[in-house]
């Protein structure tokens, strides 16, 4: 807009109105869009195909794991991760080595049930073998140290006035367990 010092305020207003009308002639019929609408559409278009490809997460499978593998195998196994394979997604299951043949034998059923649970992209199972729970328990349990003569004498002295032999033996066993704990 050009300003001229010789124009009166009424003439100035008329000039501004003519310029505004001239600008409107070129902009008519073109709605002014905010930038957020096209940007959101662009984001959805670019992210949606990748989200369809991801499939189910391990957390979803873990919550339904007992229904997928059954109660017997659910106590022995757990889903670890889902990786990409040559033919599709591969479900990695952590299981003791003794349970691996059972899982391998039921792999077709496990894959079908995992697909129903939302893992439609899963095509195979890989078993990650761990130690059996019994061998882990044996490793964890170390023999308790024996009672010293002083501790045994003190324990027997405290239990001397009990009349029932069964009750005395039970309390002696409890006292020994308490005194030898770590």
* pLDDT digits 0-9 by tens, 154-174: 888 988 888 899 999 999 999
Residue 22, H or E segment = helix 9-27
User: How far apart, in whole angstroms, are the C-alpha atoms of residue 131 and residue 135?
Assistant: 7
Give me the CATH number covering residue 111. Answer: 3.30.300
Q: Are 76 and 95 in contact (CB under 8 A)?
A: yes
The number of domains in the chain is 2
What are the residues whose beta carbons fall under 8 Å from the beta carbon of 85, sequence distance 6 or more? 123, 124
Q: Are 84 and 62 in contact (CB under 8 A)?
A: no
pTM of the model: 0.47
* pLDDT digits 0-9 by tens, 127-148: 998 876 555 556 666 777 888 8
Residue 112's domain comprises: 54-135
Confidence of residue 3 (pLDDT cuts 50, 70, 90): low
User: In the 8-state DSSP scheme, what is residue 128?
Assistant: E
Q: Are 70 and 105 in contact (CB under 8 A)?
A: no
User: Tokens standing for 5?
Assistant: 């010092």
* pLDDT digits 0-9 by tens, 36-53: 566 777 777 777 766 655
97 and 154: one domain? no
With a cut of 70, say whether residue 89 has pLDDT above it. yes
Question: How confident is the model at residue 166, as a pLDDT?
Answer: 92
125 and 152: one domain? no
122 and 69: one domain? yes
**Is 2 within a domain?**
no
* pLDDT digits 0-9 by tens, 56-87: 677 788 888 888 888 888 888 999 988 887 88
More confident residue, 150 or 56: 150
What are the residues whose beta carbons fall under 8 Å from the beta carbon of 56, sequence distance 6 or more? 82, 114, 117, 118, 119, 120, 121, 122
């Amino acid at each position: 807009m050009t300003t001229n010092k010789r124009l009166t305020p009424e003439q100035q207003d008329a000039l501004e109105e003519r310029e505004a009308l001239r600008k409107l002639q070129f902009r008519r019929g073109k709605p002014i869009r905010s930038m957020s609408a096209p940007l959101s559409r662009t984001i959805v278009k670019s992210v949606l195909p990748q989200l369809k490809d991801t499939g189910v997460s391990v957390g979803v499978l873990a919550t339904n794991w007992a229904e997928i593998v059954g109660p017997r195998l659910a106590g022995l196994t757990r889903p670890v991760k889902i990786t990409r394979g040559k033919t599709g997604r591969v479900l990695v299951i952590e299981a003791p080595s003794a349970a691996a043949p059972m899982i391998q034998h039921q792999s077709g059923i496990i894959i079908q049930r995992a697909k129903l649970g939302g893992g439609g992209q899963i095509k195979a199972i890989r078993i990650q073998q761990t130690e059996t729970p019994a061998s882990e328990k044996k490793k964890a349990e170390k023999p308790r140290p024996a009672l010293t003569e002083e501790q045994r004498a003190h324990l027997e002295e405290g239990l001397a006035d009990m009349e029932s032999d069964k009750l005395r033996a039970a309390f002696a066993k409890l006292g020994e367990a308490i005194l030898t704990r770590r």
